[in-house]
Chain A
Amino acid sequence: MIPTEGPALRAARLRPLAAPARAPHWEMDMQGFLDTVRDLKEQGRRVAGCFPLYPPLELLHSFGLTPVMLWGLNDDLQGFSRSDRHLQPYACQVARALVEFVLEHGPGLFDALLMYNACDTLRNLPEIIASGLDGSSSRLPVLRLHVPALPLDQAGAAGYLRGRVRSLAAELEDLTGRPFSGESFARSIDLYRRQRALCMEVEGLLSAGSLPLAPGMGLLMGSNRIPVEDHIPLLEAFVNEGRQAPAHGAGRPGVLISGILPPPEPLLDAIDKAGLRVAANDIAALKRFYSFTPETTPDPERYYEDFYRGHHPCTTILPSADGRLQFLREVVQETGVGGVIFFGEKFCEYEYFEFPYLEGMLKELGVRSLLLEMSAEGLQNLDGYRTRIEAFAETLA
């Protein structure tokens, strides 16, 4: 039986839970996101739009900025007419949606954008966006970071990263007019640590079947979009609700879901309805995003060295590639899942280069896999995906 939403979950989908005066819109859709950011702006908050995937949120936050992640926006976009003037359709939908959103809403909504070299497509975007906003009345500064694609114990990589973090902090001082504060930075880390720990707890409750999957995933995606201090009470409420709810997961075949973004709500529902239980996730915007926080320190250079060194393995963090295989092996064995569903972001070479090897590795472990290719066009008709999920569930039953 699928658990139903409790009051906290319902509230999270529709209304503020924590500080109503500051955050009156908590819908997870794009309009809710827009309204939230606009409200923050009205309150005098300065908002930084961050490109995926793992930017230095704590540092931005310590300067009084409110960082929000610019992905998972495509569900509500009405096409890509602005983006299509700048990007060919074989760019992934993450990039197309990001460009579309920033060109439509960016000026006036954000005080700065921040990007790092997460992938080839994303590294091309700052100048494309600047070009797209050329002539716009609002100036939108773009901050950049280069995260080494090497193990940080190799060839000056850690020193280089430290230098880039130092430069970024100096740029933030100029942008905000505030000096860097180690104390403030440490406080920001602690807030994010709390948020991430709660996200992990919500994950545990979801995998046990104590909370319904789709809204739970929506809440977890909130870690990308909702200001951290407002997200924490939401998560706490969910966790409290989940702890009291009975676990409904026992007896349902467990699957691991993997990909860049979580699948849209109808497909999460389809997983639920097919009788499957999401026992673990390897989604870049979810577990890979929030599963690790280094020790608190007032030193951002040391913190980000630890942050990227110890980061959860991800296809986009190139030195972590081998670690990802190990992680998947371990999680599959620990959770005993019978299947893995890859939600493949179409045109994401980082993900697609790995699928054949992973499929073989899982097969050796006796785990079935299903690859569903997620594209902007494909998502307009979800029935095909549903059918494949149902068929996959039958093979696991």
Chain B
Amino acid sequence: MSTEDPKEKFRKNESGKRLTSIIMNDYLTLHQRASQGAFVVWIAIIVPAEIFAGFENVVYGVPESHAALCAGKGAGPLLCGKAEGHGYSTDLCSYARIDIGTAFDGGKDSPTFGLPKPDLLISNNNNCSLLVKWFDVYHRVWGVPHLVLDIPFCYEDQTSNDFRYIMDQFGHLIRTVESLSGQRFDIEKAREAVQNSSEALAEWKRFTDFARHRPSGITAFDSFVQMAPILTSRGTRQLAEHYRLLAEETGEQVRAGVFPVPDERYRLLWDNIAPWHQLRKMSSRLAGLGANITCASYTYCIGALEGRYDPYEFDGTDPLAWLARLQNFSVCPHGLNLRGKAMREVIERNAIDGVVFASNRSCKVYSLMQMDQMRRIREDLGIPCVMIDVDHADVRKYSEETAFTRLEALLEMIDARRAQA
């Protein structure tokens, strides 16, 4: 009989190693191509990066993703502090502070040496409008043009008027890149990128679906880590292939009886952005209590339409139409009812015992509905819920002990509910 710890076995899967290599390679390639004269765009995470694949030599960097990486590597407070030294308030989003701190110090102390300087900034306002203000900082200081995508917030499904408006803006975006870069857009290349993304997202759902298994085949923390290339490798064959292998390897582990929390007694759902500085600590400590945050609204929404879980697949026709329809694939552009609809589906699907609402000071748009959502979930479904205070990238605003006092209370509530049943 093997004496190997199943948790160790779980960690040794190939997907983790491949992920590290993809991310390293993405940043290296970005810097390299930029230094060789590629046209560099900085984008907000929901900006449809597949469009850039339609150009011969356009590369993109994602400041939010870079900030999350810095936070995960422990550089958050140092880089936030640099932005604060330039006068940026500690109340501002910690992603923005990390990014500004990095950019104004030439990439020093960033694990990726920052991002190459942009030729164009493209933000949008459906994930959050502060991205526009954040990118305006660079627009002013460096004199770089800044294009905004205005994506109407969804209290219900995207309307046909909203869809047409977004399509108009994509046309403008393409013309702007053509004009500034001197390159022509090729829709066939963009179609290929969209096909790759659609496949990748379907595989992503296959991966996140392993949270349905008892015990869960994954933790939400795995999904937090594994989502990174969706932001840095969008539209590539590599991304689709990585998620296909990730889903296969996870399936093999499940079949082999290898689980991240083998003695899983509590199946939890996480609502908000990942606490990047706490991934390992929080998951290990929870695992020690027999608790697994099996899924997260932040990652289960990826690839789906508003309020839904299943992926929205590309039908091979108009790639821009697919991108426009999927412009709300994260939680933040959704109203309370839509968020609740998806959450209820996942709670039922994954047999969730309790929900952790992570009230995130750095993301008001995600957080300022949670008190009502929590009340609804608790009252309508009878599911125990708890709210903890976090900041997604600034560890200085997080207290582990305070958070765990509440998390342990949640587990006690789940026990009490079971005892009553």
Task: Indicate, yes or no, whether A interacts with B.
Answer: yes
Q: Verify if B182 is at the interface (C-beta below 8 Å from A).
A: no
Give the docked Cα–Cα distance between A115 and B169 (Å).
24
Instruction: Select which of B133, B136, B161, B369 is within 8 A of A124 by beta carbon.
Output: B369
Q: Verify if B13 is at the interface (C-beta below 8 Å from A).
A: no
Instruction: Select which of A85, A88, A90, A144 is within 8 A of B155 by beta carbon.
Output: A144
Q: Is the interface of B mostly helix, strand, loop or mixed?
A: helix
State which residues 126-177 of B face A: CB under 8 Å.
Answer: 128-130, 132-134, 136-137, 140-141, 148, 150, 152-153, 155, 161, 164-165, 168-169, 171-172
Interface residues on A, range: 35 or more
Q: Verify if B91 is at the interface (C-beta below 8 Å from A).
A: yes
Stretch from B109-117, B201-209, B282-290, B358-366 at the A interface: B358-366
B129 touches A88 (CB 8 A): no
A346 touches B133 (CB 8 A): no
Residue of A nearest to B168 (CB): A156
Give the docked Cα–Cα distance between A241 and B93 (Å).
48
Known A86-B371, A121-B368; judge A150-B148 contact (CB<8 A): yes
Q: Verify if A182 is at the interface (C-beta below 8 Å from B).
A: no
B150 touches A148 (CB 8 A): yes
Give the docked Cα–Cα distance between A377 and B21 (Å).
49
What's the minimum C-beta distance from B388 to chain A, rounded to whole angstroms? 12
Chain B residues in 8 Å Cβ range of A88: 359, 367-368, 370-371
Chain B residues in 8 Å Cβ range of A350: 129-130, 133
B93 touches A349 (CB 8 A): yes
B336 touches A127 (CB 8 A): yes
Give the docked Cα–Cα distance between A297 and B22 (Å).
58
Chain A residues in 8 Å Cβ range of B35: none
B125 touches A149 (CB 8 A): yes
Known A91-B364, A127-B372; judge A146-B91 contact (CB<8 A): no
Q: Verify if B29 is at the interface (C-beta below 8 Å from A).
A: no
A321 touches B136 (CB 8 A): yes
Known A-B contacts: A149-B132, A357-B140. Give 13 more (CB < 8 A).
A88-B367, A90-B91, A91-B364, A120-B128, A126-B155, A127-B335, A149-B148, A155-B172, A321-B136, A347-B364, A349-B91, A352-B89, A353-B133
Q: Verify if B337 is at the interface (C-beta below 8 Å from A).
A: yes
B136 touches A353 (CB 8 A): yes
Chain B residues in 8 Å Cβ range of A144: 155
A86 touches B372 (CB 8 A): yes
Residue of A nearest to B164 (CB): A156
B153 touches A123 (CB 8 A): yes
Instruction: Select which of B96, B141, B169 is within 8 A of A156 by beta carbon.
Output: B169
Q: Verify if A108 is at the interface (C-beta below 8 Å from B).
A: no
Q: Chain A residues in contact with chain B, CB under 8 A?
A: 85-88, 90-91, 95, 117, 119-121, 123-124, 126-128, 131-132, 144, 146, 148-150, 154-157, 159-160, 163, 315, 318-319, 321-322, 325, 346-347, 349-350, 352-357, 359
A120 touches B364 (CB 8 A): yes
B368 touches A146 (CB 8 A): no
What's the minimum C-beta distance from B89 to chain A, rounded to whole angstroms? 5
Give the docked Cα–Cα distance between A321 and B137 (Å).
11
Q: Verify if B87 is at the interface (C-beta below 8 Å from A).
A: yes
Residue of A nearest to B140 (CB): A357
Give the docked Cα–Cα distance between A144 and B154 (Å).
12
Give the docked Cα–Cα distance between A86 and B359 (Å).
12
Residue of B nearest to A127 (CB): B336
A359 touches B136 (CB 8 A): no
Give the docked Cα–Cα distance between A157 and B141 (Å).
27
Give the docked Cα–Cα distance between A301 and B260 (Å).
57
B91 touches A91 (CB 8 A): no
B172 touches A154 (CB 8 A): yes
B169 touches A155 (CB 8 A): yes
A85 touches B165 (CB 8 A): no
What's the minimum C-beta distance from A347 to chain B, rounded to whole angstroms? 6
A127 touches B369 (CB 8 A): yes
A120 touches B365 (CB 8 A): yes
Chain A residues in 8 Å Cβ range of B136: 321, 353-354
Q: Verify if B86 is at the interface (C-beta below 8 Å from A).
A: yes
B89 touches A117 (CB 8 A): no
Give the docked Cα–Cα distance between A88 and B358 (Å).
12
Instruction: Select which of A91, A322, A357 is within 8 A of B368 by beta carbon.
Output: A91
Give the docked Cα–Cα distance between A357 and B133 (Å).
12
Chain B residues in 8 Å Cβ range of A119: 129
Known A120-B130, A150-B150, A353-B130; judge A155-B364 contact (CB<8 A): no
Give the docked Cα–Cα distance between A318 and B359 (Å).
27
Residue of B nearest to A95 (CB): B368
Give the docked Cα–Cα distance between A353 and B135 (Å).
10
Give the docked Cα–Cα distance between A327 and B130 (Å).
22
A353 touches B365 (CB 8 A): no
Q: Verify if B92 is at the interface (C-beta below 8 Å from A).
A: yes
What's the minimum C-beta distance from A133 to chain B, rounded to whole angstroms? 11
What's the minimum C-beta distance from B145 to chain A, rounded to whole angstroms? 11
Give the docked Cα–Cα distance between A336 and B133 (Å).
28
Chain A residues in 8 Å Cβ range of B314: none
What's the minimum C-beta distance from A196 to chain B, rounded to whole angstroms? 26
Complex A-B: 10 CB contacts under 8 Å: A88-B359, A120-B365, A149-B129, A150-B150, A155-B172, A159-B165, A321-B133, A352-B89, A355-B89, A357-B140
Q: Verify if B88 is at the interface (C-beta below 8 Å from A).
A: yes
Give the docked Cα–Cα distance between A123 and B364 (Å).
11
B365 touches A124 (CB 8 A): yes
What's the minimum C-beta distance from A25 to chain B, rounded to whole angstroms? 33
Chain A residues in 8 Å Cβ range of B372: 86, 127-128, 131-132
B161 touches A160 (CB 8 A): yes
Give the docked Cα–Cα distance between A132 and B196 (Å).
44
Residue of A nearest to B368 (CB): A124
Give the docked Cα–Cα distance between A157 and B375 (Å).
38
What's the minimum C-beta distance from B171 to chain A, rounded to whole angstroms? 7
Give the docked Cα–Cα distance between A319 and B164 (Å).
21
